[in-house]
Amino acid sequence: MIYARIGEKIYANGSLGPSLDMFASDIITFDSYFRNNAVRRTTFQPAVNANLGFEYRTEKSGAFYIGLSYHRPFSYIFAQATEYKRAGKQETVYNSLVGNYLTIDLRYFFHEDPNNKKKKS
C-alpha cells in the first residue's frame, strides 16, 4: 500500500496485489419450480485486488477513510445450470459466474495515543 500526503491532514492511498480465493463447495438451490446447480471451477482461484482511497486524519478523533476496491478473478469461478418449469415445460439456462465486484469502502480508524518512550539515562 502506498500513502501520499496531499494536504495538511489528507492522505491518498492505493494498492494492487494478488489474492487467492477459496470456494469450499458447490452450491445447489431448489424449490418446487426451479433447481440451480453451481459447480466451482477449482477450490482455489487466483485473483487481483486493487484499492484507491482518501483518508482524513485528526490528532484526537482518529481517521476517516473513503475509497473504492475492485476484485477480479483471472477466470470464471462457477459454472451454473438453472432448470425451471414454465407453462408445463422444463427449460435449462447455462452460464458462467465471473465474480468481479467493485465496492465503496467507508472506514473509521480509532485514535491511538502515542507511546511516550523514556530515554535511559
pLDDT in tens, 47-68: 999 999 999 998 888 999 999 9
**Mean pLDDT across the chain:** 90
Is the model more confident about 54 or about 33? 54
Q: Evaluate whether 79 touches 38 at the Cβ level (below 8 Å).
A: yes
What average pLDDT does range 22-50 have in this prediction?
A: 92
Digit-coded pLDDT (tens) for 98-119:
999 999 999 998 987 777 666 6
The pLDDT value recorded for residue 46 is 95
Q: Evaluate whether 46 touches 17 at the Cβ level (below 8 Å).
A: no
What average pLDDT does range 81-85 have in this prediction?
A: 90
Q: Say what percent of the chain tops pLDDT 90.
A: 67
pTM: 0.73
Residue 97: Cβ within 10 Å count? 15
Q: Evaluate whether 36 touches 12 at the Cβ level (below 8 Å).
A: no
- Distance CA(98)–CA(93), nearest Å, equals 16
